[in-house]
């Protein structure tokens, strides 16, 4: 019930306006969002790199309905690539198809994605196409597979909550596409997604094993310590080297666990979001993990 409420509030304009203009909530959001500018994100990346953590940079924004906004988003992603190259930080980037015009036309979106991938190719910097709600799952997989035929440095994200994910993982593995596995942060109907956490977790473990055995440098994105321990054991039992996969976690969440895994020799990448469009992202993080909501509320009260 709490998760459903928070996901509803993520789309509520009135609550959004209150939160983004509230001094306390804006300040607390910096625990989970690096800041509103690329400079903020680069500074956060340097700090994480100094602790032997890799980074994936994400300029927040989604569902643009104007072609010029989509073109501007593509230029923003290119600016991130430039800054990574100029500063020498250890980072790749994540992009969202709806920020690049998918709601306007798939052709426009693919033109923008292609421009980003062409620009990233010489560096080379890996580009991850983020997964969004279920309305975009088929298009996201389709665009990724098509782009991968031309650019090896592109991958995508699969959500274990979705019924279709096993088939998608099999297809992506067959084509050698790198996959980030997540549980899923969107409210989805029972017709397309598992509704019980236990079912989502079980499917995550099944897909995780498949990716560890057959995938191309899979990224296991989770803060669930029991699943992380299961992944480590499965890798050991099957002779899978620690350098053959990576764990991924969100900026500001389970920093203790991030460092523990690094100290054990595992590759860990932190997903670092930034930008002015931080409200929907923050609400989804609250919905995923009640401890995050407790942190935000307690800090907001103290401010």
The CA–CA distances, whole Å, from 168 to 63, 86, 141 equal 23, 36, 7
Question: Which overall architecture, per CATH, does domain 34-277 show?
Answer: Alpha-Beta Barrel (3.20)
Rounded alpha-carbon distances, angstroms, from residue 102 to 111, 119, 193? 10, 20, 22
pLDDT at 7: 47
Closest CA to 185 of 115, 102, 284, 268: 284
**Would you give the DSSP letter of residue 216?**
S
The DSSP bridge pattern shows strands 91-95 and 219-221 to be unpaired
Mean pLDDT, each 10-residue run in order, the chain (303 residues): 48 51 56 90 98 96 93 97 98 98 97 98 97 97 98 98 98 98 91 96 98 98 97 98 97 94 98 81 65 45 39
The alpha carbon torsion through 12, 222, 201, 160 (nearest 10 deg) reads: 70
pLDDT, one tens digit per residue, over 68-84 is 999 999 999 999 999 99
- pLDDT of 275: 86
**Tokens describing residue 259:** 């460092």
* Domain ranges for the chain: 34-277
Which residue, 267, 242, 274, 222, is CA-closest to 53?
A: 267
- pLDDT tens, position by position, 116-129: 999 999 999 999 99
Segments in the chain forming alpha helices (H): 2-9, 13-20, 23-29, 38-49, 67-87, 106-120, 137-148, 165-174, 197-214, 225-237, 255-263, 279-288, 290-302
Active site residues: 130, 180
pLDDT of residue 297: 44
What pLDDT, on a 0 to 100 scale, did the predictor assign at position 295? Answer: 43
Query: Helix 2-9 and helix 290-302: axis angle, to 10°?
Result: 60
Q: pTM value?
A: 0.86
């Amino acid at each position: 019930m709490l998760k459903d409420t928070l996901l509803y509030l993520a789309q509520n304009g009135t609550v959004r306006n209150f939160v983004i203009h509230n001094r306390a909530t804006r300040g607390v959001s910096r625990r989970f969002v690096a800041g509103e500018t690329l400079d903020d994100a680069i500074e956060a990346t340097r700090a994480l790199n100094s602790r032997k953590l890799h980074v994936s940079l994400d300029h927040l924004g989604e569902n643009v309905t104007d072609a010029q906004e989509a073109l501007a988003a593509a230029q923003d992603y290119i600016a991130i690539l430039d800054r990574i190259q100029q500063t020498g930080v250890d980072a790749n980037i994540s992009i969202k198809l709806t920020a690049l015009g998918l709601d306007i036309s798939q052709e426009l979106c693919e033109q923008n994605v292609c421009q980003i991938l062409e620009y990233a190719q010489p560096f080379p910097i890996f580009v991850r196409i983020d997964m969004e709600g279920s309305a975009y799952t088929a298009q996201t997989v389709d665009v990724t597979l098509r782009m991968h035929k031309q650019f090896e440095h592109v991958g995508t994200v699969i959500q274990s909550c979705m019924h279709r994910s096993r088939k998608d993982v099999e297809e992506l593995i067959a084509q050698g596409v790198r996959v980030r596995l997540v549980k899923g942060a969107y409210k989805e109907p029972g017709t397309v997604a598992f509704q019980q956490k236990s079912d989502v977790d079980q499917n995550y473990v099944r897909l995780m094993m498949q990716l560890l055995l057959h995938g191309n440098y899979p990224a296991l994105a989770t803060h669930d310590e029991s699943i992380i321990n299961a992944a480590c054991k499965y890798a050991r039992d099957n002779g899978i080297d620690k350098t053959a996969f990576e764990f991924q976690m969100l900026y500001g969440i389970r920093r203790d666990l991030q460092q523990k895994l690094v100290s054990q020799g595992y590759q860990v990448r932190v997903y670092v979001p930034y930008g002015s469009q931080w409200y929907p992202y923050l609400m989804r993080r609250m919905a995923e993990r009640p401890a995050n909501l407790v942190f935000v509320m307690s800090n907001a009260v103290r401010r």
